[in-house]
C-alpha cells in the first residue's frame, strides 16, 4: 500500500518521478505528492489530495526544476486524504523530505516527545514524525545517511522510506524494515531510481536490486551502496528484469483492466511455458523442492490467500484433491495464522499472492514455515517478500497487472495450481499413463479455450450489462469447481461497479438466499456442462419460478439453458477441471461492462489498493 519513487541523475527529476507515480498509482490513490531538489540546495514540494491527475495539474501550473526527486502515492491510514496529509513530509526547516510506506506504530509517543522539543507538525499523519526525527539526529551531528538509519531504527512497525536533504546534492537514502512492501533500486548510466515496484523502473532500466528487510541503501547517480540496519556494508547481486514496455501501455483498450482480461490467453501460456514436457506427458516444476518421497509423505495440502487469490486457492485445493488424491483445503490467510493451526512437515501450505506483499498471507506463510510445514508461494512478483517467506516460489509470469482488481493473475494462479497438482500427482503415483497425458493435453489447450471464451463473452456481455447495470444487487451461483468462480464474480462486481453482490453455492439458495429473489436481483448462474449441470438447471428453474432474472454462463450448445435463462453467455466446450478458469472470463467481463456503464474508474476502484501491506 502506497507507492514510493525516487530519481537522482541529470534528467528533469519531476518528469521521471511523476511518470513513476503514474505506474504505481494502483498502490494507492488517496493523494499524491513529490519533492524535487536542485543543485543549489533549493527544494520544491508539490502535493495534492485525490487521484494523481490533481498532482499532475498542480505541477503543470506550478512547475519545479531539479535533477533529484522523490514522490509518493498514498493509501490513507492515519489522517484523511488531503494535501496536508499527502507525502512527502518535511522537517520544520523544509530541508529534509521523506516519503513513507507503512505505519509508524509508536508515532504518538514520538510526536509528543518531538513536540515537547519544539517541533511543529502540519499533518495528521504518523509519517510526519520521520523527517523531524532525522532532523534531530542531524542536529546531534550524525551524517544524513546515518541519521536516516538511526531514525528508521527508532520507528516501530514495518516500513519503507526514501529521504532527501536539500543540501546533499545527488543523494537519496532509502530504508526498509520488515515487510511494508518492497523497495527496488534501478541502476542506470549516471542515474539511479527507487521504486516500490517494478512498473516504475521498467521504462528506465532492467538492472534492479531488490532491497531486503532491515537494509538501507545510499543512492547516488553514479551507483548505490547497500548497508544493514546495523550500519555494516552489505552486497547482493543485481537482477536483470526483462519485461516488455508494452505491458505498461493501455494501447487501444479503455482501461488496463479490460486489456488485462484480454491478455489472459497469453498469461496462461506464460504460466505453462517450459513447465510441460510433452514427450513424457509430464509436468516439470523445478522450483518445487519436494522429492518423490516427500510428496508421497504429504498428508495435507492447504492453500491460503486473500480475496481473489483465495478464490484461486479454492480451485487449487480441488485440483490437488482430484489429481494428487491428497486431502486439500483452502483458508483465509488472515484467519489461518491466528488460530494456532496444527501443522507438521507432512503438510504443504501454498500461499497465493499476486503482489507477493499481502501482509496477511506473508504472516501465514511465515507462521506455517516456523511450525515445520513445507511452504510454497504462487506469485506474480519476482523478488517480492513472498518469495522469501516461503521455501520456494512459483512465478506465474503474468506480466505487470496495473488494474487494481486482479484478473489475469487469478487465471495464471489457477494454472500454476493445476501444474502443482499434476506434479504432486506424478510424484505420488496418482497421475500416470493415459490420465496424465489427458491432463497435460487439456492444460495445453487452455490458452486457446480462454481465447474462445473471450470471443464468446465479448459477443453478448455488453447487451446484457445494458439491461442490468441499474440493478441494486447481483447473485452469482455455481456448484463444485464453479462455486469459487461465483464468489469471484461477486467480488469483481462489488469492487468495480460498487453494486452489492454475493457469490455462493447454488445448493445454498433454498436454505435462505432465495428469499432475495425478485425482479431487481439478477442471478448469474454458472451452468457449464459437467456432472453438476442437472443440479444447476434445477437451481436456475427455482430462481425463474420466483421471477428472478437469470443470466446463465453455459457451455455452447446447451439447449436446456436457453429455455430457462433470460440471457446466456456461452463458453467453449471445456474439460470440467478447467471450467473454473474458462468461466472466470465472462464474470470478469460482466462486472467490467456493468462498471463501465456506471462510469466508474475501473482501474482504480474507490478505497482499494493493489497490494495490502497492512494487516
Nearest approach, Cβ of residue 183 and ligand F6R (Å): 17
Footprint (CB under 6 A) of ligand F6R, residues 79-118: none
Cβ distance to ligand F6R smaller for residue 224 or 256? 256
State in angstroms the smallest separation of the CB of 611 from ligand F6R.
Answer: 5
Q: Compute φ and ψ for 45, nearest 5 degrees.
A: -115, 130
The residue from 79, 307, 427, 447 that contacts ligand F6R (CB under 6 A) is 307
In whole angstroms, how close is the CB of 195 to ligand F6R at the nearest point?
Answer: 17
Edge-to-edge order in the sheet of strand 89-90: 89-90, 96-102, 159-165, 172-177, 215-220, 223-228, 233-234
* Preceding amide of 88 cis, omega within 30: yes
Q: Does 405 bind ligand F6R (CB under 6 A)?
A: yes
Residue 521 found at the interface with ligand F6R (CB under 6 A): no
Residue number of the CB atom closest to ligand F6R: 307
- Closest CB to ligand F6R among residues 308, 453: 308
Pairing of strands 223-228, 215-220: antiparallel
Closer Cβ to ligand F6R, 354 or 453, answer by number: 354
Residue with cell 517478500: 385
Strand ranges of the sheet holding 300-305, from the earlier edge strand across to the other edge: 328-332, 300-305, 347-352, 374-379, 392-395
Nearest C-alpha neighbor of 68 from the set 19, 22, 34, 27: 34
Per CB under 6 A, which of residues 148..187 are in contact with ligand F6R?
A: none
In DSSP notation, 341-404 reads ----TTEEEEEE-SSS--HHHHHHHHHHHHTT-EEEEEES-TT-HHHHHSSEEEE-------SS
Task: Choose between 85 and 413: whose C-beta lies nearer to ligand F6R.
Answer: 413
Does 49 contact ligand F6R by CB under 6 A?
no
Q: Which stretch binds ligand F6R (CB under 6 A): 220-228, 269-277, 351-359, 594-602?
A: 351-359
Residue 369 buriedness (CB in 10 A; 0-12 / 13-18 / 19+): middle
Is there binding between residue 197 and ligand F6R (CB under 6 A)? no
Nearer to ligand F6R, 361 or 558 (CB): 361
Round to whole Å and give the CA distance between 156 and 449.
Answer: 50
Contacts with ligand F6R: how many residues (CB under 6 A)? Answer: 15
Q: Is 468 a catalytic residue?
A: no
Nearest-approach distance from CB 403 to ligand F6R, in angstroms: 8
Site for ligand F6R in 484-513 (CB under 6 A): 491, 495
Beta carbon of residue 355, minimum distance to ligand F6R (angstroms, whole number): 3
In the bound complex, what is the minimum distance in angstroms from residue 198's beta carbon to ligand F6R? 14
Least Å distance, CB 409 to ligand F6R, is 7
Shortest separation between residue 172's beta carbon and ligand F6R, angstroms: 27
By CB under 6 A, residue 361 contacts ligand F6R: yes
Q: Which of 259, 408, 492, 610 is catalytic?
A: 610
* Choice between 326 and 361, CB closer to ligand F6R: 361
Cα torsion at 530, 536, 537, 541 (round to 10°)? -170
CB 290 within 8 A of CB 346: no
Question: Looking at 86, 104, 211, 306, which residue binds ligand F6R (CB under 6 A)?
Answer: 306
Interior angle at CA 249, CA 246 and CA 251, nearest 5 = 100
Does 612 help bind ligand F6R (rule: CB under 6 A)?
Answer: yes
Using CB under 6 A, which of 73, 205, 308, 412 touches ligand F6R?
Answer: 308
111 in active site = no
Please report whether residue 367 would count as binding ligand F6R according to CB under 6 A: no
Interface with ligand F6R, residue 389, by CB under 6 A: no
Q: What's the CA gap between 455 and 451, in Å, rounded?
A: 6
Do the beta carbons of residue 62 and residue 107 sit within 8 Å? no
DSSP 169-227: TT-EEEEEESSSS--EEEE-SS-EEEESSGGGTTTT-SEEEEPPSSEEEEEETTEEEEE
Q: Provide the minimum distance between the beta carbon of 26 and ligand F6R in the complex, in angstroms, as a whole number.
A: 10
Where in 274-293 is the site for ligand F6R (CB under 6 A)? none
Smallest gap, in angstroms, from Cβ of residue 91 to ligand F6R?
Answer: 34
Determine if residue 207 is left, alpha or beta; phi over 0 gives left, psi from -120 to 50 gives alpha, anything else beta: beta
205 belongs to the binding site for ligand F6R (CB under 6 A): no
Stretch that binds ligand F6R, among 40-48, 68-76, 280-288, 352-360 (CB under 6 A): 352-360
Q: Angle at CA 489, nearest 5°, toward 535 and 577?
A: 55
Least distance (Å) between residue 368 CB and ligand F6R? 15
Under rule CB under 6 A, residue 134 binds ligand F6R: no
DSSP state of 28: -
- Using CB under 6 A, which of the segments 63-71, 214-222, 347-355, 388-396 binds ligand F6R? 347-355
Pick between residue 191 and residue 495 the one whose CB is nearest to ligand F6R.
Answer: 495
Of 127, 196, 354, 594, the one binding ligand F6R by CB under 6 A: 354
Q: Closer to ligand F6R by CB, 351 or 548: give it.
A: 351
Asked whether position 611 contacts ligand F6R by CB under 6 A, the answer is yes
Nearer to ligand F6R, 129 or 378 (CB): 378
* Residue keyed to cell 524535487: 36
Residue closer to ligand F6R, measured from CB, 324 or 410:
410
8 A C-beta contact, residue 441 and residue 449: no
Q: What pairs with residue 6 in β-bridges?
A: 70, 194
Closest Cα partner for 380 from 610, 72, 615?
610
d(CA 284, CA 281): 10
Question: Quick one: 145 or 488, whose CB is closer to ligand F6R?
Answer: 488
Q: Which of 2, 163, 377, 468 is catalytic?
A: 2
**Over the range 427-443, which residues count as b (16 or more CB within 10 Å of their CB) and which as e?**
bbebbeeeebeebbebb
The per-residue DSSP string of 538-566 comes to HHHHHHHHTT--EEEEEETT-HHHHHH-S
Catalytic center residues: 2, 610
User: Which positions lie near ligand F6R, rule CB under 6 A?
Assistant: 306-309, 353-355, 358, 361, 405-406, 491, 495, 611-612
Amino acid at each position: 500500500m502506497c507507492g514510493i519513487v525516487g530519481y537522482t541523475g541529470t534528467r528533469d527529476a519531476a518528469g521521471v518521478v511523476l511518470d513513476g507515480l503514474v505506474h504505481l498509482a494502483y498502490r494507492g490513490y488517496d493523494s499524491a505528492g513529490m519533492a524535487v531538489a536542485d543543485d543549489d540546495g533549493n527544494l520544491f514540494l508539490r502535493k495534492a489530495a485525490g487521484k494523481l491527475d490533481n498532482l499532475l495539474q498542480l505541477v503543470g501550473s506550478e512547475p519545479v526544476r531539479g535533477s533529484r526527486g522523490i514522490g509518493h502515492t498514498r493509501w490513507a491510514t492515519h489522517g484523511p486524504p488531503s494535501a496536508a496529509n499527502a507525502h512527502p513530509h518535511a522537517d520544520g526547516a523544509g530541508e529534509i523530505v521523506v516519503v513513507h510506506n507503512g505505519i509508524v506504530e509508536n508515532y504518538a509517543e514520538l510526536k509528543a516527545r518531538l513536540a515537547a522539543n519544539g517541533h511543529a507538525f502540519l499533518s495528521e499523519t504518523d509519517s510526519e514524525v520521520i523527517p523531524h526525527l532525522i532532523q534531530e539526529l542531524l542536529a546531534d551531528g550524525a551524517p544524513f545517511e546515518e541519521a536516516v538509519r538511526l531514525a528508521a531504527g527508532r520507528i516501530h512497525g514495518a516500513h519503507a522510506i526514501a529521504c532527501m536533504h536539500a543540501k546533499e546534492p545527488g543523494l537519496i537514502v532509502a530504508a526498509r524494515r520488515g515487510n511494508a512492501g518492497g523497495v527496488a533500486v534501478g541502476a542506470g548510466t549516471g542515474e539511479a531510481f527507487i521504486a516500490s515496484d517494478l512498473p516504475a523502473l521498467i521504462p528506465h532500466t532492467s538492472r534492479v536490486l531488490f532491497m531486503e528487510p532491515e537494509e538501507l541503501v545510499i543512492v547516488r547517480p553514479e551507483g548505490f551502496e547497500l548497508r544493514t540496519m546495523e550500519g555494516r556494508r552489505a552486497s547482493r547481486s543485481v537482477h536483470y528484469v526483462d519485461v516488455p514496455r508494452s505491458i505498461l501501455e493501455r494501447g487501444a483498450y479503455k482501461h488496463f483492466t479490460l486489456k488485462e482480461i484480454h491478455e489472459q490467453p497469453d498469461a496462461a501460456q506464460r504460466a505453462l511455458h517450459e513447465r510441460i514436457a510433452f514427450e513424457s506427458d509430464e509436468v516439470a516444476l523445478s522450483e518445487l523442492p519436494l522429492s518423490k518421497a516427500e510428496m508421497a509423505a504429504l498428508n495435507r495440502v492447504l492453500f491460503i490467500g486473500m480475496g481473489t487469490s483465495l478464490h484461486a486457492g479454492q480451485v487449487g485445493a480441488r485440483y490437488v484433491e482430484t489429481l494428487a488424491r491428497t486431502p486439500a483445503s483452502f483458508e483465509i490467510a488472515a484467519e489461518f495464522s491466528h488460530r494456532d493451526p496444527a501443522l507438521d512437515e507432512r503438510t504443504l501450505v501454498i500461499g497465493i499472492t499476486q503482489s507477493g506483499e499481502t501482509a496477511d498471507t506473508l504472516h501465514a506463510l511465515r507462521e506455517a514455515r516456523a511450525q515445520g510445514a513445507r511452504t510454497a508461494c504462487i506469485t506474480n512478483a519476482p523478488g517480492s517478500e513472498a518469495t522469501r517467506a516461503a521455501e520456494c516460489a512459483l512465478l506465474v509470469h503474468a506480466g505487470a497487472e496495473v488494474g487494481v482488481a486482479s484478473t489475469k493473475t487469478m487465471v495464471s494462479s489457477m494454472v500454476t495450481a493445476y501444474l502443482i497438482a499434476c506434479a504432486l500427482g506424478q510424484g505420488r503415483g496418482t497421475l500416470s499413463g493415459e490420465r496424465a497425458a489427458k491432463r497435460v493435453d487439456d492444460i495445453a489447450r487452455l490458452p486457446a479455450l480462454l481465447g474462445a471464451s473471450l470471443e464468446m463473452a465479448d459477443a453478448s456481455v455488453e447487451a446484457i450489462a445494458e439491461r442490468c447495470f441499474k440493478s441494486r444487487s447481483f447473485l452469482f451461483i455455481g456448484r463444485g469447481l464453479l462455486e469459487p468462480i461465483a464468489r469471484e464474480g461477486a467480488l469483481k462486481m462489488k469492487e468495480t461497479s460498487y453494486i452489492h453482490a454475493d457469490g455462493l453455492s447454488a445448493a445454498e439458495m433454498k436454505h435462505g438466499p432465495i428469499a432475495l429473489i425478485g425482479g431487481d436481483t439478477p442471478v448469474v448462474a454458472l451452468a457449464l456442462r459437467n456432472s453438476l449441470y442437472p443440479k444447476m438447471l434445477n437451481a436456475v428453474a427455482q430462481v425463474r419460478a420466483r421471477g428472478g432474472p437469470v443470466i446463465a454462463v453455459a457451455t455452447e450448445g446447451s439447449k436446456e439453458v436457453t429455455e430457462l435463462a433470460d440471457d446466456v453467455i456461452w463458453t467453449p466446450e471445456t474439460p470440467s477441471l478447467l471450467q473454473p478458469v474458462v468461466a472466470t472470463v465472462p464474470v470478469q467481463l460482466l462486472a467490467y461492462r456493468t462498471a463501465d456503464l456506471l462510469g466508474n474508474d475501473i482501474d482504480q476502484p474507490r478505497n482499494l489498493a493493489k497490494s495490502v501491506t497492512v494487516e
